[in-house]
Amino acid sequence: MKIHVETERFYLRDIEMSDAQGMFELDSNPKVHEFLGKNPVKSIEEIKDVIHYIRKQYEENGIGRWAIIDKNTKDFVGWTGLKYEKALREEFNYYDLGYRLKEEYWGKGIATETALASLKHGFETLKLDKICGAAEIEHSASNKILQKVGLKFKETFFYEEEEHNWYELERGDWEQLK
């Protein structure tokens, strides 16, 4: 088990096949997928494919989303972190900041706490020059988190016919925020 980062309340570690049940609880919930294309997963087999895909990214890109584990209960809370995103913007690839939590964990500051740790890892350990994020324009919580952790709104764009806000954070601006 590879733990990459510790925050006050959580460990952030690689997602493993043993997380399949937790990932299924997360991704089979229609509320979780409200702003993610409204297509929750239907079977544990689909989730196993997702986990294979994420683990392949660790090897190919040196980074991928990480599991959030509650330090006290050891529960799988959801995921956060950076992904080398090749599909969302047609014009370019980029490092994307994202997060997805089981519903019972919403509203406790967890996305913010773990997103800040992901940014720190991206700039200080991976030495990235820029980290970006996107959220459907009506997704208040996600837009708020991206702004709160320091990303700056740049433009809107369409993905799968939904209008999204696009945010970026440059290394220099991150240094100033610290």
Ligand X SMILES: CC(C)(COP(=O)(O)OP(=O)(O)OC[C@H]1O[C@@H](n2cnc3c(N)ncnc32)[C@H](O)[C@@H]1OP(=O)(O)O)[C@@H](O)C(=O)NCCC(=O)NCCS
Q: Does 47 bind ligand X (CB under 6 A)?
A: no
Q: Does 82 bind ligand X (CB under 6 A)?
A: no
Q: Does 152 bind ligand X (CB under 6 A)?
A: no
Residue nearer to ligand X on the CB measure, 121 or 139: 139
CA terminus-to-terminus distance, the chain: 30
Q: Which of 110, 131, 151, 169 binds ligand X (CB under 6 A)?
A: 110
Q: Which of 10, 11, 24, 35 binds ligand X (CB under 6 A)?
A: 35
Residue nearer to ligand X on the CB measure, 63 or 97: 97
CA angle 89, 93, 80 (to 5 degrees): 90
CA angle 128, 149, 30 (to 5 degrees): 100
- Paired with 69 in beta bridges are 11, 76
The CA radius of gyration of the chain, in Å to the nearest whole number, is 15
Residue nearer to ligand X on the CB measure, 156 or 172: 156
Separation between Cα atoms, residue 132 and residue 153, nearest integer Å = 10
Query: Considering only 11-19, 45-53, 89-97, 107-115, which stretch makes contact with ligand X by CB under 6 A?
Result: 107-115
Residue 162, CB-side half-sphere exposure with 13 Å CA sphere = 16
Q: Does 63 bind ligand X (CB under 6 A)?
A: no
Q: Which of 108, 154, 172, 173 binds ligand X (CB under 6 A)?
A: 108
The CA-atom distances, in angstroms, between 160 and each of 70, 155, 157, 163 are: 34, 17, 10, 8
Query: Considering only 30-38, 69-77, 82-90, 122-130, which stretch makes contact with ligand X by CB under 6 A?
Result: 30-38
Q: Which of 11, 95, 99, 167 binds ligand X (CB under 6 A)?
A: 99
Residue nearer to ligand X on the CB measure, 54 or 135: 135
